[in-house]
């Protein structure tokens, strides 16, 4: 027990001083749309995305595409289950569902790319069990990091929020985080 007491005492000494001006940065995030196209014209859609088709032209050319608009998309670098560095783009779902995730092999160039009007997609070939499918994010704004820090008194937090969120998603975020306005 005395050994445990010494460990606890050493931890108390380690955190004796609190830096109130420290900033904490979020992961890169932006607003975009999720587009899913199955069965018909998927190979052509993939070629168009590779050739940087605009979102508006894509929707006109592929009216069967399912679109979910104004989503919060987070970009991060992680190690996957194979212990390989990858970049993930995750939709943050403010409801009860899991968001969509698209994983790309890591490259410094892709990780530093800020993404305005960029397509990020995942293509699945047709096989015995599934149809041909493409799932894509179109990123409308640059990916940015946001920060929050403790105020001088250390009693409340300043949170810089992505103000381009649609009102309904911003209100859901406020409810989830229990932010007092």
Which residue do the tokens 């790309």 mark?
Answer: 104
Q: What's the confidence (pLDDT) of residue 50?
A: 92
The pLDDT of residue 174 is above 70: no
pLDDT band at 2 (very low <50, low <70, confident <90, very high): low
Read off the pLDDT of each residue in 105-124 and give the average, rounded to a whole number.
82
Is the model's pLDDT at 86 over the cut of 60?
yes
- Tell me the per-residue pLDDT of 16-61, one tens digit each, with 9 for 90 and over: 565 656 666 778 888 889 999 998 889 999 999 999 999 999 999 9
Rg (CA), the chain: 21
**Which of 75-79, 85-89, 94-98, 107-111 shows the lowest per-residue confidence on average (mean pLDDT)?**
94-98
DSSP 98-162: PPPEEEEE--HHHHH---TTEEEEEEE---SSS--EEEEEEE-S--B--EEEE-TTSSSEEE---
Mean pLDDT along residues 114-138: 87
- Of the candidates 31, 33, 61, which has an alpha carbon nearest to the alpha carbon of residue 47? 61
pTM of the shown model: 0.68
Say which range, 78-82, 89-93, 175-179, has the weakest mean pLDDT.
Answer: 175-179
């Amino acid at each position: 027990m005395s050994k445990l007491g010494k460990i606890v005492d050493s931890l108390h000494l380690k955190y004796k001083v609190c830096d109130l001006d420290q900033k904490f940065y979020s992961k890169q995030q932006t607003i975009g749309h999720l587009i899913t196209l199955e069965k018909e014209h998927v190979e052509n859609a993939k070629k168009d995305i590779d050739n940087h088709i605009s979102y508006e032209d894509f929707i006109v050319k592929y009216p069967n595409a399912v679109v979910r608009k104004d989503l919060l998309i987070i970009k991060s670098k992680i190690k996957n289950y194979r212990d390989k560095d990858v970049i993930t783009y995750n939709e943050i779902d403010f409801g009860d569902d899991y968001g969509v995730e698209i994983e790309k092999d890591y490259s410094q160039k892709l990780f530093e790319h800020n993404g305005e009007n960029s397509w990020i997609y995942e293509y699945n070939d047709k096989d015995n069990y599934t149809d041909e499918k493409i799932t894509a994010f179109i990123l409308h704004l640059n990916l940015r990091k946001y920060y929050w820090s403790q105020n001088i008194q250390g009693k409340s937090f300043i949170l810089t929020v992505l103000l381009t969120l649609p009102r309904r998603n911003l209100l859901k975020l406020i409810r989830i985080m229990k932010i007092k306005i």
